[in-house]
Structure 1
Amino acid sequence: MPNHIGARKLAMAFTVRLLLFSSLFLLSVSVFAQTNGSIAVGDFLTATAANSSPWLSPSGDFAFGFLPLGSNDLFLLSIWYAKIPDRTIVWYANRDNEAAVAPKGSTVNLTANSGLVLNSPQGEELWKSGTSVGVVANGVMNDTGNFVLQDRNSESLWETFNNPTDTMLPGQTLERSGKLSSRQSETNYSKGRFQLLLQEDGNLVLSTINLPTNFANSPYYATDTTSGTVAGSEGKELVFNVSGYLYVLRENGGKYNLAVGEVVSARDNYIRATLNFDGIFAQYYHPKNFTGNVSWTILWSEPDNICQRITESSGVGVCGYNSICTLKGDKRPTCGCPRGFSLLDPNDPYRGCKPDFIQGCKEDELSGTKDLYDVEVLTNTDWPISDYVQLKPFTAEKCNESCFQDCLCAVAIFRSETCWKKKLPLSNGRVDVSLNSQAFIKVRKDNSTLPIRAPQLPCPDEL
């Protein structure tokens, strides 16, 4: 009998241990299933603040899902760094140059035939990834930041690395005709005015775009990796390798490094290369382990001075018409209006400026007075290609007076005994301390307004 009781106790203890082990095993499998980055066909996410759990990569470094845009119940389907406070976005859904902004209650579904499909609460299709061939078996949110749709053989059918927006990550490449497009502003994710493109000739260029078309102006930065005296010297692809080096790989295997200098550890830092909304292409790093308030640090950027590098005959420059571009200490441009002008869009200083007065020969004539304008003098400021006449040799006083008396003239620039008279709209405005110039800007006086013309009465003969 005692042996029988002992056997029962031993069996019960074994059973308890087995149940405990099984529970732990199932728990670990469950946790793994939630964090291995794999998403099954039929899974979906809903754009709500209360239920915004994203699909995470295995390490939890990257997240795919909905991020709120401000406080207006709009969301952006995107991929972001999940472990840093500002949740920096590295990819976002867009269609026809517009960000796929989703209202609250929208869903993204992983489907077998159409890949990722984003629908509004009313069922309207807002965006879909699509697949060229094959049937989707599952999706994977990788630790590289790449979201991949796979078939049953784990072959890639579609991936975000092949459909980039404004950012590249280590492990990502751009083939010929591949490009990054800037967003319109820091908070507007629709297509902006700047583009990074690996051309068919192998040249990597930064250009402005004349929206809403895709017409590209002359590059303001180029690697010149085209065919030359050495066979195979043209660029084949832009490579951002896993160590954090960014270079153009040539056909002959040679490399053109976009930056020469130290490269931070990709093991200890998050690294990205982003075409910013203001046209600056820059590489950044952020420590993975940090305490306190830590932000992204710039490693390098191109171009050195975008205000001076962009001069467009068919575009508006960095800051839009009638604006002035000034370079900040971090090599990022800032835009402002001269006195007598105000922003076209108070919420977007990069869209240009408009005059706060009406200027023109007919308007000046109707005013009935000759004392219409003051002159604002700015140093080392220019709008290089807006002139319609050049006067030489001339003095600063004569240059000022000539513009003041000319009803077509809005601004006159004097430099090196030469006067350039310019009319509106002014383009490619910038500050350049090397100019040693003066700008004379005509500004309508506050008390000078156009008279209100009385309506013309019909002649008695016409009655």
Structure 2
Amino acid sequence: MYTAASNAYWSTQSSNGSGYQLIFNQSGYMYLVASNGTILRYVFSNPVSLQDLYLRATIDYDGVFRQYVYPKTASSGRRWAMAWSTLPKFVPSNICLAISFPSGSGACGFNSYCKIGDDQRPSCSCPPGYTFLDQNDVTKGCKQMFISQDCGHPSQETESFEIEDMLNTNFPHTDYEVFGSVDEDWCRQFCLSDCYCVVATFMDRTCWNKRGPLANGVTDPGISDKALMKVRKRNRTEELAQKKSAKKSDRSAF
């Protein structure tokens, strides 16, 4: 399972090519064995009875390796619906956290973030101030809906922006500056005044400033970071959009 030749988001962790064969047995177990038959690692351990159920394993569109069962008869389907049902253990257990590398966009596209839903499947969303590049394919990422801060006059632009909080959220590997022993308000103000800052994340008196495009975005209860998204204030965004539209109208008049 690879996103690129050098970036495995799941591995059997076997060394020196010791893995000889992958076994998928009739009890629903999948494991890697050595040439002498020694079990090196279990991939799945979802024990089911093949007497009553059909069993399959697939790598789904989201990159997760899952097992499914289907009742052979209606009577054997008392516990299971008469449809392919997902078994509780799959690989990786959290694809949003598993795909996070210095290169690439992460589990979702650039400028978006990944979150595991109640159905244990990942979903891609846009942070405040962003919208999907393609509403029909949310994995392509998001685009900014407002005009970026002017680096020529950053101090004049500061009042045109505000911070929107995203709890339990981070965008790893996109930092360009880190500050320690600071409070959250300092972190907010620094990002607002720095034209390169797209978002800052804050945790344990440490402030990470991040540039765009954002990558590896993830929201998860296990993440302690708070993401401080810098967005243009709504009335200023509308005002600039109207000016831009007016300029286009002037050009068309000529």
TM-score (norm. length: structure 2): 0.83
CA–CA separation in structure 2 for the residues paired with 1:440 and 1:243: 48
What residue identity is the alignment partner of 1:322?
A: N
Distance 1:388 1:207 in 2: 27
SS of residue matched to 1:425: coil
Amino acid at match of 2:208: W
Q: How does 1:238-387 map to 2 (within 5 A)?
A: 238-241=22-25, 244-255=28-39, 256-262=41-47, 264-290=48-74, 294-299=82-87, 300-362=89-151, 365=153, 370-387=158-175
2:197 aligns with: 409
Over 4 Å off, 4+ runs: 450-455
Post-superposition Cα deviations, 1:5-31, rounded to whole Å, max 9, x if no partner, equal xxxxxxxxxxxxxxxxxxxxxxxxxxx
Tell me how far 1:380 sits from its aligned partner: 1.2
Superimposed CA distance per residue, residues 271-308 of structure 1 (whole angstroms, 9 cap, x where no aligned partner): 11011111111111110112796222222201122212
SS for the counterpart of 1:371 is: helix
How many angstroms does 1:408 deviate by? 0.7
**Is 1:439 equivalent to 2:223 in the alignment?**
no
Change (3 A) 1:261 1:242: closer
1:94-134 deviations in Å (ceiling 9; x for gaps): xxxxxxxxxxxxxxxxxxxxxxxxxxxxxxxxxxxxxxxxx
More helix by share: 2
2:184 pairs with 376, 387, 396, which one?
A: 396
Larger Rg: 1
Once structures 1 and 2 are overlaid, which stretch shifts more, 240-249 or 347-356? 240-249
* Cα 1:454–1:347 shift into 2, 3 Å: closer
Q: Distance in 2 between matches of 1:374 and 1:294?
A: 51
Please tell me the residue identity of whatever aligns with 2:212: L
Q: CA deviation at 1:369?
A: 5.3
* 1:350 aligned counterpart, secondary structure: helix
Q: Structure 1 counterpart of 2:43, which letter?
A: L
The residue type paired with residue 106 of structure 2 is: G
Does structure 1 retain, via aligned residues, the 8 Å contact 2:160–2:233? yes
Deviation, 1:454, is 7.1
Give how far 1:241 is off: 3.8
SS at 1:385 equivalent: coil
Q: Which amino acid aligns with 1:420?
A: W
Q: Secondary structure at the match of 1:302?
A: coil
Higher relative contact order (CA 8 A, sep 6+): 2
How far apart are the structure 1 equivalents of 2:157 and 2:114? 34
Q: CA deviation at 1:435?
A: 3.2
- 1:381: Cα distance to partner? 0.6
Using the alignment, how far apart are the partners of 1:249 and 1:360 within structure 2? 56
1:402–1:290: structure 2 CA closer, same or farther, 3 Å change rule?
same
SS at match of 1:258: strand
Cα distance, 1:336 vs. partner?
Answer: 0.7
Specify the alignment match of 2:252 in structure 1: none
Q: Which amino acid aligns with 1:346?
A: Q
Q: CA deviation at 1:234?
A: 0.7
Contact 1:217 1:315 in 2 (8 A): no
Q: Specify whether residues 235 and 369 from structure 1 end up closer, same or farther in structure 2 by C-alpha distance, changes over 3 A only.
A: closer
**Residues 295-354 of structure 1: CA distance to partner in whole angstroms, max 9, x if unpaired?**
222222011222122211111111111111111233321111111111111012222111
Query: How far apart are the structure 1 equivalents of 2:69 and 2:38?
Result: 26
- Residues of 2 paired with 1:221 and 1:375: CA distance? 36
CA contact (8 A) 2:174 2:210 kept: yes
CA RMSD of aligned residues (A): 2.5
Residues 222, 418 of structure 1: alpha-carbon distance in 2 compared, 3 angstrom cutoff:
same
Alignment of 1:46-61 (within 5 A): none
Unaligned runs of 5+ in 2: 249-254
Displacement of 1:207 in angstroms is: 2.3
CA–CA distance in structure 1, aligned partners of residues 100 and 121 of structure 2: 17
Q: 1:415, 1:435 within 8 Å by CA — same for their partners in 2? A: no
- Match of 2:8, SS? coil
CA distance in 2, matches of 1:303, 1:454: 51
* Corresponding letter in the other structure for 1:301: F
Q: CA deviation at 1:433?
A: 2.2
Q: What secondary structure is seen at the aligned counterpart in 1 of 2:235? A: coil
* TM-score, structure 1 normalization: 0.47
Aligned identity (percent) is 38
**Are the aligned partners of 2:149 and 2:157 in contact in 1 as well (CA < 8 Å)?**
no
Q: CA deviation at 1:398?
A: 0.2
Is the CA contact (8 Å cut-off) linking 1:282 and 1:298 kept in structure 2?
A: yes
